[in-house]
């Protein structure tokens, strides 16, 4: 486990990028760990939007009354109870990637958190864990947004700015690595 991943020739095609928001961000983060630990595929970049990275319901952002909006602490308990009823299984890196023993060798990342979100602190903690492991990471915060704003096209303010921010980070990564094309 850990170590430097094998990297394919970046001149041969487009980079492999994983991305997701909330539970999808969890799946994307877990996939980078699995790919690193099991010899591939070679993932080049990860874009994690308010990702679920831990099963701790007692962080400051989980208990902050300002964060009990569309997604709240009790709803997250409900999700975890349905996703993994076995509380011990929740603490494995396969469910809580923040708890991986090592984050070195993972691909560069964007971690984009929402200020008014129970998941805020675990997203920040994941970005910091990547940073401590030497992984290039950009931590961005949607200062006036709550969980799920990224999914609310033409409904919640901030959606368009969020999509532009994520697109910009992906485009910059692709441009830096000599790839053709751009995310719109």
Question: Which of the residues are catalytic?
Answer: 22, 117, 147
Q: Round to whole Å and give the CA distance between 77 and 80.
A: 5
- Single out the residue of 151, 164, 135 nearest to residue 23, CA to CA: 151
How far from 152 is each of 132, 145, 161, CA to CA, in Å? 33, 11, 12
Residues 6+ apart with CB under 8 A from 164: none
| Torsion, CA 168, CA 173, CA 176, CA 180, rounded to 10 | -80
Q: How far apart are CA 166 and CA 112, in angstroms?
A: 8
Strand partners, 137: 109
**C-alpha distances in angstroms, 71 versus 52, 56, 183?**
12, 15, 29
Q: Are 28 and 22 in contact (CB under 8 A)?
A: no
């Amino acid at each position: 486990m850990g170590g430097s991943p094998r990297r394919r020739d970046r001149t041969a095609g487009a980079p492999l990028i994983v991305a997701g928001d909330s539970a999808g961000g969890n799946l994307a983060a877990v996939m980078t760990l699995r790919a690193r630990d099991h010899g591939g595929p070679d993932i080049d970049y990860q874009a994690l939007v308010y990702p679920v990275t831990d099963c701790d319901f007692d962080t400051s952002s989980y208990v902050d009354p300002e964060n009990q909006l569309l997604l709240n602490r009790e709803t997250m308990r409900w999700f975890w109870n349905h996703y993994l009823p076995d509380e011990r299984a929740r603490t494995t890196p396969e469910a809580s990637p923040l708890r991986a023993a090592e984050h070195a060798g993972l691909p560069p990342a964007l971690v984009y958190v929402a200020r008014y979100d129970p998941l805020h602190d675990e997203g920040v903690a994941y970005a910091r864990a990547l940073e401590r492991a030497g992984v290039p990471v950009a931590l961005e915060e949607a200062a006036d947004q709550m969980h799920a704003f990224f999914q609310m096209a033409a409904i919640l303010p901030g959606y368009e700015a969020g999509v532009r921010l994520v697109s910009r980070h992906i485009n910059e990564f692709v441009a830096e690595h000599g790839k053709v094309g751009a995310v719109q």
